[in-house]
DNA sequence: ACCTGAACACCGTTCAAGT
DNA sequence: ACCTGAACACCGTTCAAGT
């Protein structure tokens, strides 16, 4: 065991992560800058670079930290319901950290700690009778849907927080009824209809469409 | 008609939009800065502010410009196939401008010019027998799925362009087979499986799950 | 009316220097 | 080994001044 030498550290990765979470809670992810974080930690921006390689590593660290605290609820064993429940749990997990969707790249879901969700979804798909390939497809399709829904919700929330009229508000009233009969028909109800949470409905449709037609609500 | 006075303009909004498209084509949306755009236009960054209010307006202008050139393909009249075809067309449209997904906020799809897609999807849903409310839900669900898929594809492409190992590459090899039996089972095939384009598969599943069970492939 | 240069208030990150 | 200040190369945007 080599003797550690030199100055003892004044800040730790754990402290940095905790401070970063505080900043995000207060000002959102956009408010998380190295300088702001340093202020929170009581240090300088440059000191942070001694503990994390760059900002991207910091964000991955935050994701790991978040993923470690995720719930792993008991899932029903019936494949259809199992898949729906796993998707709902995944959505809830990601919704608790919506900026993750922007940071995440490719088909990745958070960090190792969060792989529990794809594992359960693929598992449910295989139990339902899908081959490995179809099961992975099913997971990815559900993930894309989930990511899209969360991004849209986060954006809608941001828009509302900013106040001001929606793009839609400006556009819908002057819709040409001849060109867009259906949308004009919906008209002012659009706002109300699009405010509803349709995630579960979509997941059920997806699962119904992806799994073989045996299992749905009625048990085999 | 009041007499216009003062200096004649040297740059127009149309020129700015054209130059911005060129910049995006060359350096991506991240490369589009006011200064870079000014250089392209042969002017200064500040001159741009005389023609567009701010960068956000510029991006909306770009979106309008893009939407104006979108195809409106002939769609099958059978509702199920109509919905699938409209979704595929919408996906193709947005894929041609993937940064739109990040810029777009809430449930909005591009600009007025792009409302053709939701119109067709809602139309197909209603023709299939859904009520207005369910038809709007169906559209939103398909949109969320589409947006998520495009964002994932864009991210994957970016990741690949950067070179370097995927997060997944680093994580999958050391997966605990006891904790994640299904994912470990997939193992090295993951890369290959996730590279496939599963959009159409997902849309078909979604439409199958969302529409009443009469219409599928077999005509009524 | 249209355009300019300088400036403001930010970014992430590097680097040489301090303890 | 750990931390610092100054600096680099950027951002979007404002503002007073020029033509």
| DSSP H or E run through B135 | helix B132-162
pLDDT of residue B107: 53
B157 or A183, which is more confident: A183
Whether B180 and A115 have beta carbons less than 8 Å apart is answered as yes
Q: Which nucleotides of C are covered by protein (CB under 7 A)?
A: 1-6, 10-16, 18-19
- Tell me the pLDDT tens digit for each residue of A75-100: 999 999 999 999 999 999 999 998 99
pLDDT of residue B95: 95
Domain boundaries, chain B: 13-68, 79-210
Distance CA B167, CA B172 (A): 9
pLDDT of residue B166: 67
Lowest mean per-residue pLDDT among A136-145, B24-33, B130-139, B183-192: B183-192
pLDDT of residue B215: 47
- Token pair listed for A97: 């950290």
Q: What letter does residue B108 receive in the DSSP assignment?
A: -
| DSSP H or E run through B58 | helix B55-68
Q: Whole-number Å distance, CA A209 to C1' C13? A: 49
Protein residues bordering strand D (Cβ below 7 A): A 4-11, 43-44, 46-47, 50-51; B 7, 32-36, 45-46, 49, 54-56
Find the nucleotide nearest B49 (Cα to C1′): D13
- Token pair listed for B13: 């909004």
Lowest mean per-residue pLDDT among A52-56, B13-17, B111-115, B171-175: B171-175
pLDDT of residue B175: 86
Distance CA A91, CA A200 (A): 10
Which segments in chain A show pLDDT lower than 50? 1-3, 215-220
Q: Which residue among A147, A181, A208 sits closest to B151, beta carbon to beta carbon?
A: A147
The yes/no answer on whether domain B13-68 falls in CATH 1.10.10.10 is no
pLDDT of residue B157: 83
pLDDT at residue B173 is higher than 80: no
Q: A132, A133, A205: which to substitute to probe chain B, counting the most B Cβ within 10 Å?
A: A205
pTM over 0.85: yes
Burial class (CB in 10 A: 0-12, 13-18, 19+), A54: exposed
pLDDT of residue A220: 41
Distance CA A126, CA A129 (A): 5
pLDDT of residue B165: 66
Q: Is the CB of A115 under 7 A from strand C?
A: no
- Tell me the pLDDT tens digit for each residue of B62-119: 999 999 999 999 999 999 999 999 999 999 999 999 899 877 765 565 678 899 999 9
Cα–Cα–Cα angle for B190, B196, B199, rounded to 5 degrees? 125
Assigned superfamily of B79-210: Tetracycline Repressor, domain 2 (1.10.357.10)
Q: B67, B91, B100, B152: which to substitute to probe chain A, counting the most A Cβ within 10 Å?
A: B152
Q: Whole-number Å distance, CA A176 to C1' D14? A: 39
- Judge whether B158 is closer than 8 Å to chain A, CB to CB: yes
pLDDT of residue A159: 76
pLDDT of residue A2: 46
Is residue B36 very low, low, confident or very high in pLDDT (cuts 50, 70, 90)? very high
Residues in chain A: 220
Distance CA B145, CA B201 (A): 12
Q: Whole-number Å distance, CA A59 to C1' D11? A: 21
């Amino acid at each position: 065991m080599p003797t550690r030498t030199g100055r003892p550290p004044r800040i730790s990765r754990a402290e940095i992560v905790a401070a970063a979470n505080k900043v995000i809670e207060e000002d959102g992810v956009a408010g998380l800058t190295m300088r702001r974080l340093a202020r929170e930690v009581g240090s300088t921006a440059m000191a942070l670079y001694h503990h994390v390689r760059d900002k991207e590593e910091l964000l991955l660290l935050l994701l790991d930290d978040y993923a470690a605290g995720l719930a792993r609820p008991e899932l029903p064993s019936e494949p259809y319901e199992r898949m729906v429940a796993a998707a709902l749990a995944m959505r809830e997990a990601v919704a608790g950290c919506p900026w993750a969707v922007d940071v995440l790249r490719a088909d990745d879901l958070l960090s190792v700690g969060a792989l529990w969700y794809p594992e359960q979804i693929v598992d449910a798909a295989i139990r339902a009778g899908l081959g490995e390939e179809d099961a992975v497809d099913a997971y990815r399709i559900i993930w894309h849907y989930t990511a899209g829904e969360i991004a849209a919700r986060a954006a809608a929330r941001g828009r509302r927080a900013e106040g001001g009229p929606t793009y839609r508000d400006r556009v819908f009233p002057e819709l040409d009824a001849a060109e867009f009969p259906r949308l004009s028909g919906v008209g002012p109800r659009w706002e109300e209809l699009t405010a509803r949470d349709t995630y579960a409905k979509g997941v059920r449709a997806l699962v119904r469409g992806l799994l073989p037609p045996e299992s749905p609500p009625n048990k085999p």
